[in-house]
């Protein structure tokens, strides 16, 4: 599977952001991408004050666009994320569409980004956004793919459930690490989640804009089941391509069977929703 990460510039104009996404998605498809990934909040500046203004119910302008272009191009699209309005609540939500434009899944960000790094960055998503409750994995002809959003990637239990119970061989993370957390933790976390779950880990960032109220780190990347960086962008707008070989996932899991070697008799955590353990 050829995957394309559209590391796009995000502005204050929803229409312009959608046009940028369309341009990059069309270029990705013309270069043979089977799946394209957009970044977190791709249609909206990443700032609490914008989320209510840009929020859409489903179906809406942005999701109609994603469905239509997925069908037009015949590719899978992980639609980054957008502010989703549902009743009185707003969620940070990723919509996933199949080759015929059909909705394959919807992931609402489970872990909200509430941090206070003294003298560097303070952000509290929970002031505006609600929490998701569901683990998201969808099927493709290449194998199962998990989707989570940004801060979710810091929680190994979630990615482990995708791999073990959801059968994911690829995990896609639309994200927007910043200039404090990005240099410190972006590559480290992407490599660790790939390595400890023996999956390809696809982390999609917006391009960096020093004019934004929230400055994204950029450096979208793909890491392998062996914990290596397969492809990495710099901070500028670009499309990052990488080949995903799910046979390599099987090879690594066979030769270094750490998922099979888990001692769940000693440290299993019971999942109330599924009744399973991991």
Cis peptide before 49 (omega within 30 of 0): no
- Furthest-apart CA pair in the chain: how many Å? 53
- The CATH number of residue 232's host domain is 3.60.110.10
The reply to whether 277 falls in a domain is: no
d(CA 206, CA 43): 11
Q: How many domains does the chain have?
A: 1
- Catalytic residue set: 40, 109, 150
Cis peptide before 59 (omega within 30 of 0): yes
- Given the DSSP bridges, would you call strands 103-108 and 114-117 parallel, antiparallel or unpaired? unpaired
Nearest Cα residue to 147 out of 126, 132, 128, 129: 132
The reply to whether 6 falls in a domain is: yes
The reply to whether 273 falls in a domain is: no
pLDDT digits (tens, 9 = 90+) for 103-142: 999 999 999 988 899 888 888 999 999 999 999 999 999 9
d(CA 45, CA 53): 11
**Any idea how long the chain is?**
278
Residue at token pair 């960086």: 229
The reply to whether 250 falls in a domain is: yes
Tell whether the model's pLDDT for residue 173 goes beyond 60.
Answer: yes
The reply to whether 31 falls in a domain is: yes
The reply to whether 272 falls in a domain is: no
Q: Is 165 exposed, middle or buried (0-12, 13-18, 19+ CB in 10 A)?
A: middle
Tell whether the model's pLDDT for residue 278 goes beyond 60.
Answer: no
Q: Is 189 exposed, middle or buried (0-12, 13-18, 19+ CB in 10 A)?
A: buried
Tell whether the model's pLDDT for residue 38 goes beyond 60.
Answer: yes
A 10 A CB-CB count for 213 gives 12
The reply to whether 275 falls in a domain is: no
**Domain range enclosing 107:** 2-267
pTM summary value: 0.94
Q: Which two tokens stand for residue 200?
A: 């390809």
How confident is the model at residue 220, as a pLDDT? 98
The reply to whether 213 falls in a domain is: yes
Mean predicted lDDT score pLDDT of the chain: 95
Binning pLDDT at 50, 70 and 90, where does residue 152 land?
Answer: very high
Q: Which two tokens stand for residue 209?
A: 């804009």
pLDDT digits (tens, 9 = 90+) for 78-90: 999 999 999 999 9
Q: Name the 3-class secondary structure at 211.
A: coil
d(CA 159, CA 103): 22
Tell me the C-alpha to C-alpha distance, in Å, between residue 8 and each of 48, 171, 204: 20, 20, 10
């Amino acid at each position: 599977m050829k995957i394309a990460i559209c590391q796009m510039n995000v502005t204050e104009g929803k229409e312009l952001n959608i046009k940028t996404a369309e341009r990059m998605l069309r270029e990705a498809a013309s270069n043979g991408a089977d799946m394209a990934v957009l970044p977190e909040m791709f249609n909206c500046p990443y700032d609490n004050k914008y989320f209510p203004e840009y929020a859409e119910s489903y179906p809406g302008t942005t999701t109609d666009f994603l469905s239509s272009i997925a069908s037009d191009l015949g590719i899978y699209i992980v639609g980054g994320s957008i502010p989703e309005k549902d009743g009185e609540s707003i969620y940070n939500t990723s919509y996933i569409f199949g080759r015929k434009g059909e909705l394959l899944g919807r992931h609402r960000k489970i872990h909200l980004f509430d941090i206070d790094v003294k003298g560097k960055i303070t952000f509290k998503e929970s002031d505006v956004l609600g929490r998701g409750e569901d683990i998201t994995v969808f099927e493709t002809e290449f194998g199962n793919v998990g989707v989570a959003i940004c801060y979710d990637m810091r929680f190994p239990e979630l990615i482990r459930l995708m791999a073990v119970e959801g059968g994911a061989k690829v995990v896609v993370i639309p994200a927007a690490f910043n200039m404090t957390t990005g240099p410190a933790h972006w590559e480290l976390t992407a490599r660790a989640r790939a390595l400890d779950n023996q999956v390809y880990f696809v982390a999609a960032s917006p391009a960096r804009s020093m004019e934004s109220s929230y400055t994204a780190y950029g450096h979208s990347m793909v890491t392998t089941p062996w914990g290596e960086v397969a492809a990495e962008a710099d901070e500028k707008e670009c499309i990052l391509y990488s080949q995903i070989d799910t046979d390599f996932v099987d090879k690594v899991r066979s030769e270094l069977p750490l998922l099979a070697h888990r001692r769940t008799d000693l440290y299993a955590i019971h999942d109330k929703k599924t009744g399973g353990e991991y």
